[in-house]
Amino acid sequence: METGGYQIGRSRLPGLAALALAAVSLGVGRAEAPLFEPSLAAATPPPLLDADLVFRRGRDAIARIALAYSAQPRFSHVGLIVREGDATSVVHAIPVDVHSAGGVRREALGRFVAADMAADVAYYRIDALTSAQRAVVRRYVLDALGRPFDYQFQYSDSSAVYCTELVVKALAAAGLDLSPELTTVTGLTLREPVIPPDALGQARPLRPLTPLRRTTDNPMLAVPPP
């Protein structure tokens, strides 16, 4: 495991010197502001039910640059709420990173919306879902745990899933198929149209549980797309 900054990585400093430099560069021994500013989301989430949706805009540089160029950018990711007693978690599909092998994972809500993970968060509910349907959604996503992330973004193939695909298919399993009304995007190497999180967020059955901000409040739109 390599840890450290750009200078350290290049100079291959010997042990102690590298350790000392790493400590300085990582801010050990000095009071420093948090790495990321607080999320735009409310600190306390609203009361949530199984099958509620939670959207976030991550902190990723490339995702920010791409989303800022979209007409109504807000979210880069979505997951489904699963309750277990007093604990609330999110089941979602993510690509591989240095912390996990990726795929469909269950994560504590607090971690999903933590400041270092989310610049913005919103919660939605589909009021039309009955308790029985919510149970079906819950069972679907829990059964999907461990399924790999779909790097081909193919909705027609359920052996691997991307974030929006997981949510849409879980709702469809409960009898609510939103896919026909969702806006899709196409890409050069994409074999099928892809459903972006923002398209799902604009689906009619979804009711925001937190107040929606005006798009002018969105710092990503500080420089409007040309």
Structure tokens at 105: 């994972």
| φ, ψ of residue 225 in degrees (nearest 5) | -60, 145
Q: Which of residues 69-88 bind other proteins (CB under 8 A)?
A: 69, 76-77
Options 7-15, 123-131, 132-140, 201-209: segment touching other proteins (CB under 8 A): 7-15
Residue of 184, 186, 152, 150 lying closest to 166 (CA atoms): 150
Structure tokens at 214: 């005006």
Q: Give least dist CB 57 to other proteins, A.
A: 10
Binder of other proteins out of 17, 20, 23, 25 (CB under 8 A): 25
Binder of other proteins out of 44, 156, 186, 216 (CB under 8 A): 186
Residue of 78, 108, 46, 41 lying closest to 171 (CA atoms): 78
Assess 38 for contact with other proteins (CB under 8 A): no
Options 43-51, 94-102, 170-178, 200-208: segment touching other proteins (CB under 8 A): 94-102
H or E stretch at 216: none
Angle between helices 131-144 and 163-173 (to 10 degrees): 140
Residue of 104, 51, 67 lying closest to 185 (CA atoms): 67
Q: Can you tell me the distance from the alpha carbon of 51 to that of 172, in angstroms, rounded to the nearest whole number?
A: 12
Q: Give least dist CB 131 to other proteins, A.
A: 29
Options 83-91, 174-182, 188-196, 203-211: segment touching other proteins (CB under 8 A): 188-196
Cβ distance to other proteins smaller for residue 115 or 135: 115
Assess 35 for contact with other proteins (CB under 8 A): yes
Q: Can you tell me the distance from the alpha carbon of 7 to that of 9, in angstroms, rounded to the nearest whole number?
A: 5
**Site residues for other proteins per CB under 8 A:** 1-6, 9-12, 25-26, 35-37, 56, 58-66, 68-69, 76-77, 92, 94-99, 116, 151, 153, 163, 186-190, 194, 222-223, 225-226
